[in-house]
Structure 1
């Protein structure tokens, strides 16, 4: 009430002010007055929008208004926040918070082909699309603190298990019931490549996971288009109910949240989703700085974890030799990743996922010192995160109608400010006391005739307040004991002032006064003395801007190359216009070997070959006197540059998986292959099953993306296999698990699969032949990428390259192919091919073999080193392949062995690694010989290429120089120098710079033809 223009505050109102949670240490309670005005604050309305000395008006759990003038409703409870800043509440779009659910563990015995079908679920145990996680929300007050202590007020959550993970939920972190905290019951669908806890065998490989995603998209589309069709009992069965497929309807209208674990997976997830026109937000890996142009072109938003890696162990010579240059580079560059993503214009939000929560703000501030703007950082915590969580219409800003979710800080949160209070749905979660904070600082005290300096500061983490202080008299520093800051802002402590002439332990109690500080001191004789003081400077605490300089942005020691590993290129090579003069040309065509000849290339093609050619204008000249030029070597059988396993060995038929989905452009084997003269290679699925996956022919374009490595003009192909591997002869008892187990079973499986593919094709044709009126009441055939690929074989639209050894199985498959009227393109390995060479030639099949491998398992005992010669003499198109990382860069020497074993000519020997494999892969119109018009895939050797002393000096792919031996020599020295500088940086860094998460090694294991990666954590690697 007003008396004589003075405000009289009743005892009841005083009581409400003192008991309000922002002033009290008690557990959070709702405000007594539901209309609350936070006055005199710095309001960060949204990124880039700031209001000074404004008022945030909150009513119940919503923001009612933002007031710039002094027009505060009389009924509002006022809280003076002078000197404090209010930010919108932060949002984490990728969590598993508050989900109370565990998938049952069935403990099934291997093999597991089928799962328990419950309530219309999917056939595969990694598909949980039917789950809607709001049904399982149970707020966890203690776990919520992991986010609240860092200023987060809401999250998006899902059970992070499986490939299709169900629909997430956006919810408040407030300490309320599940019904009250759910913001958006159905936010976004969650996905990943990781099958999680599924006990089903399939999929066990990365390419298997991708194939399952692709098939599930197709199944869901088919299901939702056909589920409402009336049943025609004479032609169509009743479509089975499938809630997982039903929940995947209209997926293109939602933003899939896709978890990935590394940069390659991030890019392949983006490409896969782009293939299906699916919007998405992708959980990043922290390595995005290395491939920003690719990411930007794919146009997806990212969710960035601040998962900076621990400093690699380089303390000893033995330890640092085990660390790759890529790992050293990533340790240094990880903190630059958010700024790099922001500067590239890629939208992103932050998440705490994958790190210790107390590392979040130190990591984010480190990112800011490395160039990330505060506005971009705030957007990543608020507006951008709200978009991803599906709550942008009521969270992420300070605006009327938005949820009363906000953060009160002292100082700039992105520098050294600290969070004092977090408000969730209008309810306070106090981390630090504002009233106590007002006492912190530096004071000059007057005690009788004595002058003392007092310093009070706060230390400790959010939610755990610790106060420290000292008195100074002249140059003497006096520590304080029993220091306590009371809820009402009073400070008490004890001090030994003997150095200042006052004997015994003195006790102080002080409180704020109008112009400083005042109180009393009680000395050892219990005499009370008045104390007064003035503020001399703000303390350098987290509540005020620090007087210490922020960590300066450090210069980076590491290079950024393409790919970002040792020997990566600093710049993409250009297409050259080049005149190579005076070389010996191994043409691999009818011209044979040309001495002292020239070659012109431009626009990625060979223009002309001949002697004493004129150099056109604008062409560089390379004098190759005494050197040899060949077409690039073509390897018919390789397993380099693959992520996530070469085999999907869980089923006998996995024709749906694609090696093209899992190309690893960072594999140094690509660079080493170039150094051995190899410019193209067919990457094959392994030999774990009779019908494996689809192959991918690549060009060795070192530094290019996975998509750019693909040989665009190559025909489709697939890997089949015969023999011991597919019938599991050498897998060990625990791996012997599926049909077929015998060679005759292998034949039966082929027949069964071919018949199924023919029936599938007939069903599609019959449906396509129906009139539109009939289609409306007839179920369409369910799509099958597996049978589609096999049907392409039978229609001779997909070439078969088949792993084989013994003559009986080679003959069996020849007869089988002829019975089903398709041609086998190539028998690979084919070490008993010499026994059936005439049959191979009559069929028109090629043979790609080893030069002299034998006796490494039973079915290879009859192998002989004359195999290649004998097959070739019988008219079989024969090539030499590697099937091995190391052998691939020595294929020139492997080709030469047939000259030693059986007197093969130079030309024929060299053709076995150039034009013959090109013909087997049906790309001979593009590569394989030095023929004008073909792609300029060219290799320059310092000696005759069949010599063991020959070295590649240059290698071009499509006219671009991807390998240069002189540059390689410089690169080797650069790698040594860069490694040494990074190791020194690690050794000289403090513990904070070295701290981080243990991360998965960046290097992919070396996969082989029969490397069998089991999803349940087992590995098997037998003989080839």
Structure 2
């Protein structure tokens, strides 16, 4: 019934309610009432000012505005002499008035059969209309009105696809038929699951991105009339495709991720997020996306306790210092954005945060635009709100002075021509410091907070005090100087001047005397001028690549370098070359030989040191954000680790210190058919896209054993539950992929990203790296692959590989194993440290991997164990972590050995790289030095100095009375194959 009634209101006109409804408002521009506000300084939009201006209001709109215009006969005139008028703010992203989503109970499930007729995934709730969940909240509206807001875009903030939002005027004097400015103002998405369902998929960020892609593919398919059944969710997506498309992303990395997803489905999103966009501003500018920008800058940490201070990492300390510069830097870069108050504890904190941003260079016009014209433009409602022009909705605020000045106050907020009084502008402003004389005693009296607080001192003794200010009469109550005296002095005065209070004081003994309190105007003026002189534009401070510990002040660049007189492990037929030079030029290995000419190259003396190709970790889970497993389904081939590469993970730097230059970032082992991998070069300081191999070989993760059949999960409900069920999963999906291939080109063909990937496997265009332990399952998967006409590329872990190395050789599969892990779960009981040596001896391409953020830093020592266990030669053992994984990853034409023309991915070791005493002194990728041991020592000193500087600044901030937060430790989950945490 509610929705029908609201639609009737809307049909009768947005700007006014029905004629037969009673009007009990204060003065407003509704019906026949015409209001003229005169003698104001009117800022119609950023940069445009009318002095001594008049604004005429009628029917909730601006009927005229300007200087020297004629006031209509019969208009109610309000003199705003000395006041300023600005457009009311627009909140572009909120859940104002929305009912709270009900959290589903019970355990996880695959599908909710009760939602027949909707999309198969319950986190896709595109059919939701904000109007169905809306109830105007007068209390919440008042908080926003008091902060300067006149309109708010609201939506149901639950789900990955959330449905439509609407634009609402914050008019506490109106009704819903009048308030709803636009019933469908945008189409909303997020990266957050719905709380209204327990459906398990997706369980990761990469799964969420994949779901959003497929949903949009399906909507496009549905729009062409291909479906034989009705889907209300897809219908809604199709119907709302021309609305503004808004997605909540979060940090800078997610801004880039959702934009990439949008490009894939042909959609330009308005992105909510980017609080740390300044750290990747060029990448974000390149998206051409508009942002809805939160400004919830973090408080300083309370670092006074040195035993707690160490919890706070340098990146978080920097964020406190640098985040307020973000709005200005976005404006400087020409990035289009509107500001949202979402994330703030309350809307009244908005101005405080904006003034912090202004200390870093944000101008008043830029700030005003981000609150008015920019949200209007982004939401496509510039014809209604955002500026003060003839014909537009009469949403404006009246202030005591220029909006962003320190002492300016908002007097009134007119919404749809209806006045909402925040502070009576006719009351005189008496805040300030006074000297009061009462019965021969001199008091110091400070009044603050719009005359809501008073502090009183006589001599150096602070007295208790209370104040009441109403109708230009002030009453102050002060306790006595003697703390044991429970009597009070009361002062009453009519306020006629702002700099002097004159009235009657009622003393504790009952006597009445006159009193005066004179404002210390000159002192205040001097202090204000002093403060103005002190104010200097703050700067961002050191911004590094990446902007965390151990980041470089400048982005690392390619160099021409000559390694002189090294012991060179070529991994080629030349073997190990003594006293040899290697010249690196244009990112490649340019020359190898003795006594090479240095030319303009930087020379590194490698005498007594060993130069090798970089270590390649075939199986790693570092540098991944928000989940290594998409565990919701038994096949998740549609997801890809490339979507969630974390270029700021300090484990990248730590791996570089261990000589690692390339890693395959694998999906976990939660399901038989997992997600696609990302093969990256560890280019510390570069973006995720720059790290991923160009023209990267295509890989996917399969898994066998305990993890996929959920042996150790108490609440495992997903098929399969047995090892024979795992085999059936493969058979089913390969059969489906063949059927999918047959359907291409036929009527009603539906693009399915998951099937496309599995089809690539069957057509030998994508390589399989399979998590494996037990020989029976290893044998099973090889037979299944052969049956379907392809080969498994790599068995990883493969701790029973020694039992069937001959069969592996015949199949043509490689083995990437641990050096000596054993018995950490039941199916590993038969592992032996001779595994790698035995597979190698049988002609299997053998590698040793980490699967662990700590082990990946010492893979050189893991390779050395093959010399001890199995008498593998040093050169062959070294290939286990260099050339062999390069072969398994199909990048051996680019890296893995020292050969003219290959990528200059090199490590200079202090000793034989298989020695426990060897350390990486220089690690280079594509001719760029990303780790230098001497520079690392300098980093440690500079980090220590910077931390101390920031600690000093935080302590100073606390001493000034600024709000602080408790120290906290930001930690990154160290993922392993079976990690299910998001």
TM-score by length of 2: 0.90
User: Displacement, 1:199?
Assistant: 1.2
- State the distance in 1 between where 2:137 and 2:966 align: 27
- State the distance in 1 between where 2:519 and 2:104 align: 69
| Selected match of 1:720 from 673, 690, 702 | 702
| 1:148 and 2:148 are equivalent in the alignment | no
Change (3 A) 1:991 1:133: farther
User: Displacement, 1:506?
Assistant: 8.6
| 1:710 and 2:708 are equivalent in the alignment | no
Q: Is the 8 A contact 1:252 1:277 kept in 2?
A: no
Change (3 A) 1:926 1:457: same
Deviation digits for residues 716-742 of structure 1 (CA, Å, limit 9, x no counterpart):
1100011111111222x23x2221111
Q: Partner residue of 1:233?
A: none
- State the distance in 1 between where 2:156 and 2:292 align: 17
Deviation digits for residues 873-898 of structure 1 (CA, Å, limit 9, x no counterpart):
11111111111111111111111111
| Selected match of 1:596 from 569, 579, 582 | 579
Change (3 A) 1:522 1:444: closer
| 1:433 and 2:417 are equivalent in the alignment | no
Q: Aligned to 1:966, what secondary structure does the other structure show? A: helix
Q: Partner residue of 2:323?
A: 334
Deviation digits for residues 889-940 of structure 1 (CA, Å, limit 9, x no counterpart):
1111111111111111111111111111111111111111111111111111
Change (3 A) 1:533 1:611: closer
- State the distance in 1 between where 2:359 and 2:98 align: 36
Change (3 A) 1:379 1:454: farther
Aligned Cα RMSD in Å? 3.4
Q: Partner residue of 2:54?
A: 55
| Selected match of 1:943 from 911, 918, 927 | 911
Q: Partner residue of 2:120?
A: 123
Q: Aligned to 1:188, what secondary structure does the other structure show? A: strand
Q: Is the 8 A contact 1:584 1:597 kept in 2?
A: yes
Change (3 A) 1:727 1:476: closer
Q: Aligned to 1:199, what secondary structure does the other structure show? A: coil
Q: Partner residue of 2:824?
A: 856
Q: Is the 8 A contact 2:505 2:515 kept in 1?
A: no
Q: Partner residue of 1:752?
A: 732
Residues 609-628 of structure 1 aligned to structure 2 (within 5 Å): 609-615=592-598, 617-628=599-610
Q: Is the 8 A contact 2:860 2:881 kept in 1?
A: yes
Q: Is the 8 A contact 2:617 2:664 kept in 1?
A: yes
- Deviation larger for 520-529 or 83-92: 520-529
Q: Aligned to 2:739, what secondary structure does the other structure show? A: helix
Residues 614-653 of structure 1 aligned to structure 2 (within 5 Å): 614-615=597-598, 617-653=599-635
Q: Is the 8 A contact 1:850 1:880 kept in 2?
A: yes
- State the distance in 1 between where 2:225 and 2:504 align: 86
Q: Partner residue of 1:189?
A: 187
Q: Partner residue of 1:392?
A: 382
Change (3 A) 1:180 1:992: farther
| 1:282 and 2:285 are equivalent in the alignment | no
| 1:606 and 2:605 are equivalent in the alignment | no
Q: Partner residue of 1:362?
A: 352
| 1:256 and 2:218 are equivalent in the alignment | no
User: Displacement, 1:260?
Assistant: 2.2
Change (3 A) 1:825 1:762: same
User: Displacement, 1:164?
Assistant: 0.6
| Selected match of 1:738 from 696, 718, 723 | 718
- State the distance in 2 between where 1:1013 and 1:255 align: 33
Deviation digits for residues 548-606 of structure 1 (CA, Å, limit 9, x no counterpart):
54873476695211111110111112211122221111111121111111112211111
- Deviation larger for 601-610 or 526-535: 526-535
Q: Is the 8 A contact 1:494 1:505 kept in 2?
A: yes
Residues 917-956 of structure 1 aligned to structure 2 (within 5 Å): 917-956=885-924
User: Displacement, 1:953?
Assistant: 1.0
| 1:565 and 2:548 are equivalent in the alignment | yes
Q: Is the 8 A contact 2:203 2:631 kept in 1?
A: yes
| Selected match of 2:305 from 308, 316, 329 | 316
| Selected match of 1:658 from 610, 629, 640 | 640
- State the distance in 1 between where 2:388 and 2:465 align: 43
User: Displacement, 1:757?
Assistant: 0.9
Change (3 A) 1:999 1:663: farther
Deviation digits for residues 356-415 of structure 1 (CA, Å, limit 9, x no counterpart):
123222121111122211111000110001123332111111111111111111123313
User: Displacement, 1:804?
Assistant: 0.8
| 1:882 and 2:850 are equivalent in the alignment | yes
- State the distance in 2 between where 1:493 and 1:313 align: 36
| Selected match of 2:177 from 176, 179, 197 | 179
Q: Aligned to 1:260, what secondary structure does the other structure show? A: strand
User: Displacement, 1:537?
Assistant: 5.1
Change (3 A) 1:412 1:819: same
Change (3 A) 1:165 1:557: closer
Deviation digits for residues 417-471 of structure 1 (CA, Å, limit 9, x no counterpart):
1111111111111111111126778999999xx999999986337xxx6265989
User: Displacement, 1:1001?
Assistant: 6.3
Q: Is the 8 A contact 2:219 2:234 kept in 1?
A: yes
Q: Is the 8 A contact 1:678 1:889 kept in 2?
A: yes
Q: Aligned to 2:737, what secondary structure does the other structure show? A: helix
Q: Partner residue of 2:402?
A: 412
Q: Aligned to 1:309, what secondary structure does the other structure show? A: coil
- Unaligned ranges ≥5, structure 2: 1-23, 482-487
- State the distance in 1 between where 2:869 and 2:104 align: 58
- State the distance in 2 between where 1:891 and 1:495 align: 75
Deviation digits for residues 783-827 of structure 1 (CA, Å, limit 9, x no counterpart):
221121111101101100001111111111111111101011111
- Deviation larger for 550-559 or 58-67: 550-559
TM-score by length of 1: 0.86
Q: Is the 8 A contact 1:446 1:532 kept in 2?
A: yes
Change (3 A) 1:214 1:173: same
Change (3 A) 1:534 1:826: closer
User: Displacement, 1:316?
Assistant: 3.0
Change (3 A) 1:602 1:253: farther
- State the distance in 2 between where 1:477 and 1:879 align: 78
Deviation digits for residues 71-125 of structure 1 (CA, Å, limit 9, x no counterpart):
322322211111111110001101000123634x553433x11114447321111
- State the distance in 1 between where 2:980 and 2:246 align: 30
Deviation digits for residues 688-711 of structure 1 (CA, Å, limit 9, x no counterpart):
111100111000000111111101
| 1:675 and 2:662 are equivalent in the alignment | no
| 1:574 and 2:557 are equivalent in the alignment | yes
| 1:300 and 2:300 are equivalent in the alignment | no
Residues 829-844 of structure 1 aligned to structure 2 (within 5 Å): 829-844=797-812
Q: Partner residue of 1:689?
A: 671
Q: Is the 8 A contact 1:308 1:996 kept in 2?
A: no
- State the distance in 2 between where 1:219 and 1:56 align: 51
Change (3 A) 1:481 1:714: closer
Q: Is the 8 A contact 1:439 1:490 kept in 2?
A: no
- State the distance in 2 between where 1:901 and 1:479 align: 82
Change (3 A) 1:942 1:988: same
Change (3 A) 1:875 1:526: closer
Q: Partner residue of 2:874?
A: 906
Q: Partner residue of 1:699?
A: 681
Q: Partner residue of 1:64?
A: 63
Change (3 A) 1:171 1:308: same
Q: Aligned to 2:338, what secondary structure does the other structure show? A: strand
